[in-house]
Every structure is written in C-alpha cells, then in structure tokens.
Amino acid sequence: MDCVFCRIAAGSLAADVVYSDEDFLVFRDIHPLAPVHDVLIPKRHIPSVNGLTDADRALAGKMLLAAKKVAEQEGLAEKGYRLCINCGPDGTQAVPHLHLHILGGRLLSAELG
C-alpha cells in the first residue's frame, strides 16, 4: 500500500483525525493554508474525481455532507469556509487519492492557486 492516504485510512500512518465514519476520514492538513485546514478522504481508494463512476453517486453526495458536518464541528459554518478538490497534475493534486480540503477560520482570498 504505497498511497499515503490509504495508509492513513488503514491506521498504519498517524494523522490528527477530526472526524471518521463508515465511508470517510477527516484529518488536519500537515501544511495548513488557513487556521482550519482539514482533509476529507474516502476510506476506499479512488485516484481522483476522474476515478468516480455512476456507481459512486451516493458516495460523492455523502462526501459533501460529511464536509458540511466537519465545517459545523470546526465552527466554520456561520462565517463561511471553502471546499476545494484538486484533480490531476495541472489541478495541483499532490496525492493520487480523491480528497477534499476544508479551509476556514479567516477571510480567504478570492484568488485560486
């Protein structure tokens, strides 16, 4: 298992976990770009958004609802937060495992990248 996120999901690599359920694990980013910067991953390996299929529709919807739950748990819901999914090299996806960044805790720049 050479996917770092799969190792975190399996519990063989430590992470500062903030949320876990049957399908997802959320942990603090080790290089935060905001006061709150969490990473939400599906526990099942999916390489990127491009790896999603029609059979993953429910999982994709649950992913957004899990992100909302974490944002509420982290105290971000009232003032706002950003959800970001990078896809592929030009999208700056650093780890080839689908993941969603949850950022907040301050006014975020409108610029991307």
Residues with a catalytic annotation lie at 99
Chain-centre distance of CA 6, in angstroms?
A: 13
Cβ-proximal residues to 101 (8 Å cutoff; 6+ apart), any chain: 29, 33, 37, 38, 39, 40, 82, 83, 84, 85, 86
